[in-house]
Amino acid sequence: MPLTYFNAQSFSPRYGDHYFTVTIVEASVVENNSFENCNVFCAKAHGIYKIRVSRGRKSWIVHRRYKEFLKLSQDTEGIIDKSLSEALPKPPRRTLFPNIKYEFLCARKVQLHLYLDSLLFALSKNKLMTTRAAEPVLDFLGFYDFNSDICRPT
Asked if residue 41 is part of any domain, the answer here is: yes
Asked if residue 152 is part of any domain, the answer here is: no
CA–CA separation, 69 and 93 (whole Å): 11
| C-alpha distance from residue 73 to each of 33, 77, 122, 124 (Å) | 29, 6, 13, 16
Asked if residue 151 is part of any domain, the answer here is: no
Asked if residue 154 is part of any domain, the answer here is: no
> With pLDDT > 90 as the criterion, what percentage of the chain qualifies?
31
pLDDT tens track for 104-143: 899 999 999 999 999 998 888 877 776 777 888 999 999 8
CA–CA separation, 105 and 100 (whole Å): 6
Asked if residue 31 is part of any domain, the answer here is: yes
Q: What is the pLDDT of residue 145?
A: 84
CATH number at residue 101: 3.30.1520.10
User: Which tops the pLDDT comparison, 95 or 58?
Assistant: 58
Asked if residue 136 is part of any domain, the answer here is: yes
* Count of the separate structural domains present in the chain: 1
Cβ(140)–Cβ(64) below 8 Å: yes
pLDDT above 60: residue 64: yes
The amino acid that residue 123 corresponds to is: L
Q: What is the mean pLDDT of residues 46-71?
A: 93
The chain-wide mean pLDDT, for the chain, equals 82
pLDDT above 90: residue 13: no
Range of the domain at 58: 4-146
Which pLDDT band, with edges at 50, 70 and 90, does 84 fall under? low
Backbone angles phi, psi at 61, to 5 degrees: -115, 135
